[in-house]
Amino acid sequence: MPERSQVSPFRRAAVALLAVAVTIALVRAFIMQSFVVPTGSMEPTVQIGDRVVVSRLSYVIGDIQRGDVIVFNGSGVFDPLDDGPDTLLGGIGRALAAVFSMPVGSTDYVKRVIGLPGDHVVCCDADGRITVNGEALDETYVAEGEAPSTTAFDVEVPEDRLWVMGDHRSDSADSRAHLGSPGGGTVPTDRVVGKVVGIYWPMSRIGGLDDGSDR
């Protein structure tokens, strides 16, 4: 009787690593993703160095809501379009970086949704508050001591786009900084990666986020 071929330890290890890589890729593509925040534009809600979990399922089973903190791809919106097509190795590298909460590039942004498609967003009313459809926002999440905005704007948010702002209003290059760009500073909804559902590192900051729903 012929001897059965033996699977080498190297081949078993390669198959196991491939299975892990496929699992990670599926989780990242359809369920959740991890980011490390490199700037203070969302302080105090999200601080420099925070590791956040971003749910990709939130907007598959529900709609984007005003007050949500989102991650979106700003390439071609807040940043110039890429010069050329991505490489396979580059894509794999960014996928692994995202899984392990490393910065994934300069075109990913963390901001808060202030205006939804069709909203009329204005800064500011007589009391210095941002209004949406004539109603003043009680923005409990804005950094202490800061004005809601020192930049005046009056925007009708186009269909399938969002008006976004950072909570650290004096240190956030958000929709206000791109009023003269195509789209008037608004972000296409199809550029949204997902909703930030919580902070998981450092341990002292583990928890969910203030979405302003108590206003």
Q: What is the pLDDT of residues 19-53, one digit of tens each?
A: 655 555 444 545 678 888 988 999 999 999 999 99
**Is 5 an active-site residue?**
no
Instruction: Tell me how far CA of residue 16 lies from CA of 5, 20, 78, in angstroms.
Output: 19, 6, 40
CA distance 31 to 54: 9
pTM of the model: 0.78
Residue among 72, 212, 197 nearest 142 (CA): 212
Reported as a pLDDT band with limits 50, 70 and 90, residue 212 is low
Residue 68 contacts residue 74 (beta carbons within 8 Å): no
Residue among 59, 64, 81, 41 nearest 157 (CA): 64
Widest CA span in the chain: 92
CA distance 174 to 191: 15
**Is 195 an active-site residue?**
no
What's the pLDDT score for residue 127?
Answer: 96
Residue 74 has pLDDT above 50, yes or no: yes
Choosing from 34, 55, 111, 175, which is the catalytic residue? 111
Domains along the chain? 32-205 (2.10.109.10)
CA distance 92 to 90: 5
CA distance 5 to 192: 49
Is the alpha carbon torsion for 148, 151, 152, 155 positive or negative? negative
Length of the chain: 215
Reported as a pLDDT band with limits 50, 70 and 90, residue 84 is very low
What's the pLDDT score for residue 182?
Answer: 85
Choosing from 41, 58, 101, 175, which is the catalytic residue? 41
CA torsion angle 29 35 41 45 (round to 10): 100
No. of H helices and E strands in the chain?
Answer: 3, 11
